Amino acid sequence: MRIVIFGAGAIGGLFGAHLVGKHEVTLVCREKHAQVIQKNGLRITGLSDIHASPRAVSSVEGLEQPDILIITVKAYDTEQAARDMQPLIGQHTKVLSLQNGLGNLETIGRIVPESNIIGGITSQGAILHEPGMIEHTGRSYTIVDDQAIAAMFTEAGIETRYSEDIQAEIWYKAIVNCVINPLGTLMKDKNGLLLRDQSFGPLAREIVGEGVEVANARGILLDFDIAWNRTVQVATDTSENICSMRKDFEAGKRTEIEQMNGAIAGYGAELGIPTPVNSLLSSLISA
């Protein structure tokens, strides 16, 4: 398969390194990252030990249309990414979003034919320490709504399952992130804060409850207990990790808060559903 990964930072590079053994993989990434990979290859350490040599470029110019185009840019860059990658999308190109947050598929769908779009999520953890060097920090689930892609990822060493209701999966993951990311960022703590300090339990349950209510009102049927259990499970599995939002915040970078708690607050306002906790967290992180 010819695969292009657009916005190939930590997660995109992790997937690319696993896939390159059996597929023709091109990473579209920042120029310095691309230069180092071209010269020295891509090194994955931590839970994976891989030295791969994918093609790496900083522009889509001159690239052939791939069979699969994987998007791993930050959620706030989705619209621009969709426009930039338009020349790569052929009639049969599958466009897979493996991004955080809510609204990415809808944003892509305004630019790319909906028949080409595949939804997906991943909770794999990875950190880009320096150009050409990625640490695989967390091995967790990946879910897509395409059986062939699920099988391809699993064969490449990234266990992936197929779901017929990917929107529900996207919302469940977003709600988990709406708890773990802003709390970890505001408290300057790790993902296990919720487990170590039980006083955060009621607040976390309010975040989850608002998200579930808004999703159900939008016709995406979620169950509170499932959402809560997943939140606790992720906090347990990644208890010693620092969330991506805190890393972005402390590095002076833009966060994805508007595509997480901010999105739930925005959808709630449209539907007349109060979301005071998600609204407050969005305002605090933005401020």
- DSSP state string for 181-224: HHHHHHTT--TTHHHH-GGGHHHHHHHHHHHHHHHHHTT----H
pLDDT value of residue 103: 95
Q: What phi-psi label fits residue 157: left (phi over 0), alpha (psi between -120 and 50 degrees) or beta?
A: left
Q: Please say if the pLDDT value at position 138 is more than 90.
A: no
Measured distance CA(79)–CA(109) in Å, rounded? 10
pLDDT band at 30 (very low <50, low <70, confident <90, very high): very high
Domain span(s) for CATH 3.40.50.720 in the chain: 2-162
Closest of 258, 264, 278 to residue 220, by C-alpha: 264
- At how many degrees (to 10) do helices 201-217 and 224-237 cross? 130
> How many residues make up the chain in this entry?
287
Q: Please say if the pLDDT value at position 239 is more than 90.
A: no
Mean pLDDT over 244-253 rounds to: 92
Q: How far is CA 169 from CA 112, 187, 191, 227, in A?
A: 22, 27, 20, 10
Mean pLDDT over 98-126 rounds to: 94
Phi and psi at 6, nearest 5°, equal -100, 125
pLDDT band at 255 (very low <50, low <70, confident <90, very high): very high
pLDDT value of residue 4: 98
* pTM across the whole model: 0.94
pLDDT value of residue 241: 86
pLDDT value of residue 186: 96
Mean pLDDT over 30-57 rounds to: 96
Closest of 29, 26, 20 to residue 4, by C-alpha: 26
Mean pLDDT over 217-242 rounds to: 93
Quote the Cα angle for 251-256-257, to 5°. Answer: 105
Measured distance CA(4)–CA(57) in Å, rounded? 10
Q: What phi-psi label fits residue 52: left (phi over 0), alpha (psi between -120 and 50 degrees) or beta?
A: beta
Domain span(s) for CATH 1.10.1040.10 in the chain: 166-286
- The secondary structure element, H or E, covering residue 120 is strand 117-122
pLDDT value of residue 140: 83
| Fold entry, domain 2-162 | Rossmann fold (3.40.50)
Mean pLDDT over 76-101 rounds to: 95
What ranges in the chain are assigned the alpha helix state H?
Answer: 10-19, 31-40, 78-84, 104-109, 147-155, 166-186, 193-196, 201-217, 224-237, 244-250, 261-271, 276-286
Cα dihedral across residues 139, 170, 52, 58: positive or negative: negative
* 173 catalytically annotated: yes
Structure token digits, residue 103: 């609204």
Active-site entry in 74, 94, 173, 190: 173
Measured distance CA(213)–CA(196) in Å, rounded? 27
Query: What mean pLDDT is reported for the chain?
Result: 95
Measured distance CA(235)–CA(221) in Å, rounded? 23
| Fold entry, domain 166-286 | N-(1-d-carboxylethyl)-l-norvaline Dehydrogenase; domain 2 (1.10.1040)
